Amino acid sequence: MPHRIIFSDIDGTLLNAERELSELTISEIKRVKDTMPVVLISSRMPSAMTHLQQQLGITDQPLICYNGGLILVNQQSVHSIFIAPEVIEALHQFNNQQKFHISLYHNDDWYVPELDFWANREAQNTKVSPVVKDTQEVIRLWKKKNIGAHKIMCMGDEKEIDLAFDFLQKNYGSTLHLYRSKPTYIEIAHKSISKRTAIETLLDTHFKISLDDAVAFGDNYNDVEMIAAVGTGVAVANAKEETIAVANTVTASGKEDGVALYIKNNIK
């Protein structure tokens, strides 16, 4: 299949062991960016991605954030699907003794009830600082604005996260997508979105490029549909077995410049 557009996941895929962009990754993407679009696609919020765009010289390209819950073109939202505040309220009440951390995200807003271990670690990983605001206050604000969460992140001890997962699966399994990126994490998004649906939306409405002409890089469970759907799905060597199983090819690991090496060897 021809390569006319590149989509790349970030964490576990594009970044090196220091969670940074390597010099080879920067140089290879800069080499091809003027002949084909390079689009970042992640569960991250916009401001946790734009500094990477700047390093890669692709700030003119769209962003797919929150695993497809938010698509930005020219820094403006063109597609937005979020979780209703009533669901957040039910989760907050379930967590009435605050046994686990709840982060709430909408567009470029990230709210945490306190700057605890989990908030500080996530801030260090993403290079974005959250706003401390009581969860109930966020819920009231969002109800007033008629908006909700593009993503909810629950973080905590594995036993508490297990209980939270069971609560959400039992009560909202038909409307929420629950993703255990780690035993101590749950990433929560609206059931209707995925990286695949976001790519299809962007290709149809903005680029007018066929899905068959797209190449996508990924590593984790939330990349499986995307990798399987595009013309050339590339898994990094550290990817989950399920991701590797649907990929057309496997490149080196994310920490060993797998994306950059594939581009160098296959895109002239």
- Asked whether the predicted pLDDT for residue 238 surpasses 90, the reply is yes
Three-state SS at 157: coil
Instruction: Average the pLDDT over 182-211 and give the result.
Output: 95
Q: HSE on the CB side for 12, CA within 13 Å?
A: 21
218 within 8 A of 9, measured Cβ to Cβ: yes
Distance CA 161, CA 180 (A): 9
Q: What is the pLDDT of residue 181?
A: 79
87 within 8 A of 164, measured Cβ to Cβ: no
Domain 85-190 coded CATH 3.30.1240.10: yes
Q: What is the pLDDT of residue 125?
A: 87
Q: What is the pLDDT of residue 200?
A: 97
Instruction: Average the pLDDT over 119-139 and give the result.
Output: 94
Instruction: Average the pLDDT over 40-54 and give the result.
Output: 96
Q: Tell me: the pLDDT tens digits for 204-237?
A: 999 999 999 999 999 999 999 999 999 999 999 9
Topology given in CATH for the domain delimited by 5-80+193-266 = Rossmann fold (3.40.50)
Confidence tier at 182 by pLDDT (50, 70, 90):
confident
Q: How far is CA 268 from CA 35, 125, 216, 246, in A?
A: 10, 33, 17, 25
Q: What residue segments make up the domains of the chain, in order of their start?
A: 5-80+193-266, 85-190
Distance CA 268, CA 100 (A): 48
